Structure 1
Amino acid sequence: MKTLTVIGFLGSMLDASKFGPSRWNKWRPTVGLTMHEDLRVDRLLLLHGTAHRRLAEYVAEDIASVSPETHVEMRLLDFRDPWDFEEVYGKLLDFARAEPLDPEAEDYLVHITTGTHVAQICLFLLTEARYLPGRLLQTQPERGTLNPAGVWNTIDLDLSRYDSIATRFAVASAESTSFLKSGIDTRNSAFNRMIDEIEQVALRSKAPILLMGPTGAGKSLLARRIFELKKLKHQVAGPFVEVNCATLKGDSAMSALFGHRKGAFTGAVADRPGLLRAADKGMLFLDEIGELGLDEQAMILRAIEDKRFLPVGADKEVSSDFQLIAGTNTDLGEAVAAGAFRDDLYARLNLWTFRLPGLADRREDIEPNLDYELDRFAEREGDRASFNKEARQRYLAFANGPEAAWPGNFRDLAASIMRMATLSPKGRIDLDCVEAEIGRLRRLWSGQVDNGAGILTDVLDEQAIVEMDLFDRVQLAEALRVCRASRSLSEAGRTLFNASRARRSSSNDADRLRKYLARFGLDWGAVKVG
């Protein structure tokens, strides 16, 4: 068996007693913990100050008389002010680092009954951080008796060992992640894992968070929910300030962000605090941060690191202690390589980076978001709308199919649901309403198809694209888009050749699509992987 070592302070009051037989009628915590038959203490590291050396020696003598197997080792630890948290924690940390503690050979108990309240708190924190690798030990007198041994119990700081506490923490954690997802029961496993990680980062770190993803993927909503979660946990006291950096252009960008002094430039008729100061003690969300100029980026970096910056026209710096979330729909790494974004700011933002997938990559979440948008419509308009069974099945079949590109992501979905709910005055969205909306989405999206250069570069080299006719380029790009959105070659073939199937004797759509792709040196695997 491992030997048991107890670490604890001498109690200058609780361990003191008259020098005589009457001391055995008193509960003394340090002596008492060595008097239990069910707690064999092999070694006691007794922390004490110079002023209490004699008491420490006297306690050690009494321990030797009641527990000769306990080896007492005294450690001198003096504090100028035993109520100074910084001094007490620092010296206890030095002790923990210098002491040759070996958890492989010994078990450790940290006695937190004696010492000042500050010392007890510091012992708790050092044990929780594993600088002292053991469990906490509490002792107390036994009520209704003169038993000098008292009673004892231990606390294991691994909260997972306590079923009721672990259950409550699990429920609280689930509530936090559900809060970040606006209560939507999302089904995409990768997205759920990302939200779990964001919840941990948001509550345990004040470092900037970078949210990447296409327009409409929900960056702004998630940023606001992170703020609301931190406010719920009393981690921020100030407001949520959202800035779309794409709207900040020219000289007005500096003034809007950092403020200005009266007379700093023509039109500056009064002081302006600026958006960074407005976010003091709160959270600043810089959406589309890649649109900022290099000068603004330099000042943002200074404001993040030093919490200080210089307003336009001022000769004295001001301060603002805000937490930053940045959003972008562009690749900042590529922007750095192109010289359009500062590498030092990117390095500062890139500690916690989360990429939000578009709706087309989270099709299993379309149905729960559909219900969420109907609930939002009811709250906003005071009038609830719902689908009949056939209409809901038809809409979901279209929304989850390869024909639905969702270029605007969740914004497209929210607008689509709002249109159908609004155009159903009786509160029932029927099949005719759904068909009309599907036609509307097709028309809206038809004008957003480019010449195919974007998706083609995933599978073809630049020279091959240049040598391709524009007609072939657009046609192939659409075929690739349908392939990417389909689960199999056969499904993609059915979508692409659906209209002509009835006029053919053979309907091997997969083979037809395979031959079409082969014309360009492509196969199904290359198209799906890119």
Structure 2
Amino acid sequence: MGQRNVVIGILGARLDQQGLGKRRWNHWRPNVGILMHPEFAVDEFVLIHHENEAELAGITLRDMRDLRPGMSLAPHVVNYANPWDFGEVYSQLLDFTRQYRFEPEQCNYYVHITTGTHVAQICLFLLTEANYIPGKLLQTSPSREGVQGTYQIIDLDLSRYDQIASRFEREAQEGVAYLKGGIETRNAAFNALIAQLEQVSIRSAAPILLTGPTGAGKSRLAKRIFELKKQRGQVSGKLVETNCATLRGDNAMSALFGHVKGAFTGALTARSGLLREADKGLLFLDEIGELGLDEQAMLLRAIEDKVFTPFGSDKETSSDFQLIAGTNRDLFQQVRVGEFREDLLARINLWTYQLPGLRGRLEDLEPNIEYELQQIARKVGHKASFNKAAREQYLAFAYSAEASWRANFRDLNSSITRMATLASGGRITEGIVAGEIGRLRYDWGGFQQETPAASAEKLLQAVLAAETLAGMDHFDKAQLAEVVRVCRASKSLAEAGRVLFNVSRTQRASSNDSHRLRVYLQKYGLSFSELA
């Protein structure tokens, strides 16, 4: 014995009616028409109808029984108050799937989605796609050939449609490549981050938080997210961006939320504000941790309710925007010290992505060098490239521990720009690379904390001859440097002696701290008066 065929459909208040008299047989009625196809065997028909449609349901069920006398009929009554309320309709149809006993091993299920409101049709589709109803879709339509119409069976198993599945995969790959700027990045963690961000960008309008050090690429990535959403029809407005570190006091409120004329001194005209400008688009707030607490409170309401009050106004305005926030700060630490609102952090922390600095993705150094060279070629109109030895020389330094890449990709962009500009004939030579390495060492050296040994060396260079300093041990240098510091901070030789011999002087019957210190200094040809 083969499997039974079960059709699940919703009574169509208009299409299934077509008059209640004999004339109804002269018109196409979707649920009845299914049974007029002798090649499509139906063993059971589950007809879902509203309790207010009992008369039409009775007529339809009788006509079905006349067409297929041996078929089992199973009416199911729903009673939602509003057939256009998605939540209510979905809830009652979901209840049906839980009450009905599905037997997928014994039965083939077909979900008829031609009748019912669009809301009901969508709900049936979602329930079938999610496998609450383990079946296929059944779509019917009228036909000139007769009142039975035509039907089509749709299998939702997309894995069977290689062309569709490969198209989805291809579009996702294109989206990932776009977010990466076409750079063939090799860092596994970064690639995984971008792959997920591509899905989130297309499927969600919730806030996105991009964290990471300055120069890691937060601003560039936000722009690419906007362009990707625009390509896919996700936004119709524009990208509005600002650095919150530039917003202070009344200017912050005005810039973000706008103001009315006369709201404050100098407000000669009204201003719409960045949130209003981002309506139907995307708002990128870089360094969001710099916002004041009052602005944070208003921003939270604007994100949640899509409304806010312009500065100086007593009327609300609205804006439907998606927020991307960027920060190089630890917002959780800012919450702990009272500098950032916990409720705002909770709201923007749904999708958070930590962008690593360049030192954290050195695998991507070479692809980014090529990208920077290509960008420069587009901007200035001529191509620059390394010769082999120069490239090896630059990469050896770039990968070394000496290369701190403090400003991350901004440092790399500046470095490649300088070398490409100086490249005569478009060739970056060893000489150009050597000069650039020297420049980077100098720039980064200004940020390095001075070691105690370097500090002592610098101090002694000011008071000793070079040959004397060269002949001293590291121990003697450290000791003498501390003596010099104490002498410079003391008003007299005696005071300096008391500080330097603070313990040993108490163990002597009589102490002459000044004499002891004078003798020590004379050993190196120094005197207190010179040091002071």
Check whether TM > 0.5: yes
Cα deviation, residue 51, structure 1: 4.1
Match of 1:277 in 2: 276
Hey, what's the Cα distance between the residues in 1 that align with 2:43 and 2:369? 65
Cα deviation, residue 397, structure 1: 2.4
Q: Secondary structure at the match of 1:235?
A: coil
Match of 1:296 in 2: 295
Residue 55 (1) aligns with residue 59 (2): yes
Match of 1:91 in 2: 89
Aligned length: 447
Hey, what's the Cα distance between the residues in 2 that align with 1:261 and 1:416? 46
Match of 1:324 in 2: 323
Match of 2:503 in 1: none
How many percent of aligned residue pairs carry the same amino acid? 55
Hey, what's the Cα distance between the residues in 1 that align with 2:11 and 2:274? 54
What residue ranges of structure 2 are gaps of 5+ in the alignment? 457-532
User: Residue 97 and residue 215 in structure 1: after superposition, are their counterparts in 2 closer, same or farther (change >3 A)?
Assistant: same
Hey, what's the Cα distance between the residues in 1 that align with 2:251 and 2:268? 14
Hey, what's the Cα distance between the residues in 1 that align with 2:87 and 2:59? 24
Contact 1:9 1:114 in 2 (8 A): yes
Contact 1:50 1:78 in 2 (8 A): no
Which sits farther off after the overlay, 257-266 or 9-18? 9-18
Which sits farther off after the overlay, 306-315 or 284-293? 306-315
Q: Secondary structure at the match of 1:426?
A: helix
Structure 1, residues 271-327: CA drift from partner, whole Å, max 9, x if none? 222222222221111111111111111111111112222222222222222110110
Match of 2:255 in 1: 256
Match of 2:110 in 1: 109
Match of 1:188 in 2: 187
Match of 2:243 in 1: 244
Hey, what's the Cα distance between the residues in 2 that align with 1:154 and 1:104? 20
User: Residue 37 and residue 431 in structure 1: after superposition, are their counterparts in 2 closer, same or farther (change >3 A)?
Assistant: farther
Contact 1:93 1:126 in 2 (8 A): no
Q: Secondary structure at the match of 2:100?
A: coil
Cα deviation, residue 5, structure 1: 2.9
Hey, what's the Cα distance between the residues in 1 that align with 2:5 and 2:313? 64
User: Residue 282 and residue 152 in structure 1: after superposition, are their counterparts in 2 closer, same or farther (change >3 A)?
Assistant: closer
Could you tell me which amino acid in structure 1 is paired with residue 253 of structure 2? M
Cα deviation, residue 141, structure 1: 8.3
Could you tell me which amino acid in structure 2 is paired with residue 53 of structure 1? A
Cα deviation, residue 350, structure 1: 0.9
Q: CA RMSD in A?
A: 3.3
Contact 2:111 2:124 in 1 (8 A): yes
Structure 1, residues 323-371: CA drift from partner, whole Å, max 9, x if none? 1011000110111111111111111111111100001111111111111
Hey, what's the Cα distance between the residues in 2 that align with 1:249 and 1:225? 28
Match of 2:73 in 1: 72
Hey, what's the Cα distance between the residues in 1 that align with 2:54 and 2:455? 86
Q: Secondary structure at the match of 1:362?
A: helix
Which sits farther off after the overlay, 148-157 or 164-173? 148-157
What residue ranges of structure 1 are gaps of 5+ in the alignment? 452-468, 475-530
Q: Secondary structure at the match of 2:425?
A: coil
Hey, what's the Cα distance between the residues in 2 that align with 1:142 and 1:263? 67
Q: Secondary structure at the match of 2:186?
A: coil
Which sits farther off after the overlay, 114-123 or 184-193? 114-123
Structure 1, residues 62-116: CA drift from partner, whole Å, max 9, x if none? 3543xx2x32112345899xxx972588436413323413456565320234556
Describe how 1:357-376 pairs up with structure 2 within 5 A: 357-376=356-375
Contact 1:211 1:354 in 2 (8 A): yes
User: Residue 377 and residue 55 in structure 1: after superposition, are their counterparts in 2 closer, same or farther (change >3 A)?
Assistant: same
Could you tell me which amino acid in structure 1 is paired with residue 92 of structure 2? D
Match of 1:424 in 2: 423
Contact 1:188 1:364 in 2 (8 A): yes
Q: What TM-score comes out, normalization by structure 2 length? A: 0.75
Hey, what's the Cα distance between the residues in 2 that align with 1:277 and 1:88? 30
Q: Secondary structure at the match of 1:335?
A: helix
Could you tell me which amino acid in structure 1 is paired with residue 73 of structure 2? V
Match of 1:485 in 2: none
User: Residue 116 and residue 57 in structure 1: after superposition, are their counterparts in 2 closer, same or farther (change >3 A)?
Assistant: same
Structure 1, residues 236-264: CA drift from partner, whole Å, max 9, x if none? 12221111111112332222222222222
Which of structures 1 and 2 has the bigger CA Rg? 2
Hey, what's the Cα distance between the residues in 2 that align with 1:91 and 1:71? 26
User: Residue 446 and residue 103 in structure 1: after superposition, are their counterparts in 2 closer, same or farther (change >3 A)?
Assistant: farther
Cα deviation, residue 27, structure 1: 8.4
Describe how 1:27-38 pairs up with structure 2 within 5 A: 30=31, 33=34
Structure 1, residues 381-425: CA drift from partner, whole Å, max 9, x if none? 111111222222222222222222111111111111111111113
Contact 2:93 2:123 in 1 (8 A): no
Structure 1, residues 475-502: CA drift from partner, whole Å, max 9, x if none? xxxxxxxxxxxxxxxxxxxxxxxxxxxx
Q: Secondary structure at the match of 2:6?
A: strand
Match of 1:488 in 2: none
Match of 1:463 in 2: none
User: Residue 471 and residue 241 in structure 1: after superposition, are their counterparts in 2 closer, same or farther (change >3 A)?
Assistant: farther
Cα deviation, residue 128, structure 1: 3.2
Which sits farther off after the overlay, 356-365 or 40-49? 40-49
